[in-house]
Amino acid sequence: MEHLGIKSKDRYAKRIKTCLCLMMHLSLYSLFFIPLVSCSRQTQETVIAEDSLVWYPGRTFDYKQKFNDMQSKQHEVASRIGLARPPKDRDDAVSMRKSLVEIKTNENYIVDELTHSVPFLIPSAKKELDAIGAEWSDILKRNGLPHYQFYVTSVLRTQEDVKFLQRSGNINSTTQSCHCYGTTFDLAYMRYNKVTRTRMYMHEDNLKLVLGQVLLNHQRAGKIYVKYEWKQSCFHITVRG
């Protein structure tokens, strides 16, 4: 009887051990499984299908005709109100920092990855860029449209930058570049970044119309010169004061 009792105890101990092992494995499994489920749900929540095309009800116009402020006109004002002289290279541009203001990505525009310019403008040009961004945002908001950011693709260039662009075959890069005075910046008209989390979306051509309308308003107010550069897909802008 005592021998049978020992066997019964051994079987009971084995069962307890088995149950404990099973519970431990289930616990470990749940630690891995729960985060995976959570990540899956989170991913599904962040993906919003864009199925509602909306339009800015502005009147279209001929960009090439309206924005035809030539290089000579822009260079005259740039050399008059901008930096005293074009910086020779990046180090020279840094030495002129007291006359310049850095521009950074904000809620209305994105400073692109600049390869042939540095993100600096004279104060009045920075102020004008921000004013363009504010009016852009206001038009989208007043018309119940999703908010987008536009791209700033070129800012202050050094003489070294200009020479590099000329060697690379950029037809719009001249020795007398307005970009060398901190008065001038380029805005892409076919690239935008959607900020608002909504099913509504806009075509690039329609966003171009919004940006074009803002620039037309500022041009008519005598604040900027604008050249439509269709080969570079950008608006070339020089502040006038």
Give pLDDT tens digits for 5-16: 444 445 544 554
Q: What is the pLDDT of residue 15?
A: 54
Beta carbons of 15 and 165 less than 8 angstroms apart: no
Tokens encoding 205: 């051509």
DSSP 171: T
Helix (H) or strand (E) holding 229: strand 224-229
- Residue-wise pLDDT for 71-111, tens only, equals 999 999 999 999 999 999 999 999 999 999 999 999 999 99
Q: Rounded to the nearest 5°, which phi and psi values hold at 52? A: -130, 95
Residue in this structure with the two tokens 């608002």, named with its chain if needed: 196
In the prediction, which pLDDT does 166 show? 78
3-class SS at 79?
helix
What pLDDT band is residue 48 in, cutting at 50, 70 and 90?
A: confident
3-state secondary structure 8-69: HHHHHHHHHHHHHHHHHHHHHHHHHHHHHHHHHHHHHHHCCCCCEECCCCCCCCCHHHHCEC
| Mean of pLDDT values over 177-185 | 96
Residue 40's pLDDT is 35
Secondary structure element (H or E) that encloses residue 166, with its range: helix 159-167
Distance CA 147, CA 202 (A): 10
Quick: pLDDT tens for 131-180. 999 999 999 999 999 999 999 999 999 999 988 887 865 555 566 799 99
Q: Is 97 helix (H, G, I), strand (E, B) or coil?
A: helix
Return the C-alpha torsion angle 136, 138, 144, 150, nearest 10.
20
Comparing C-alpha atoms, which of 173, 183, 188, 177 is closest to residue 234? 188
Q: What is the pLDDT of residue 50?
A: 87
Rounded distance, CA 149 to CA 170, Å?
A: 26
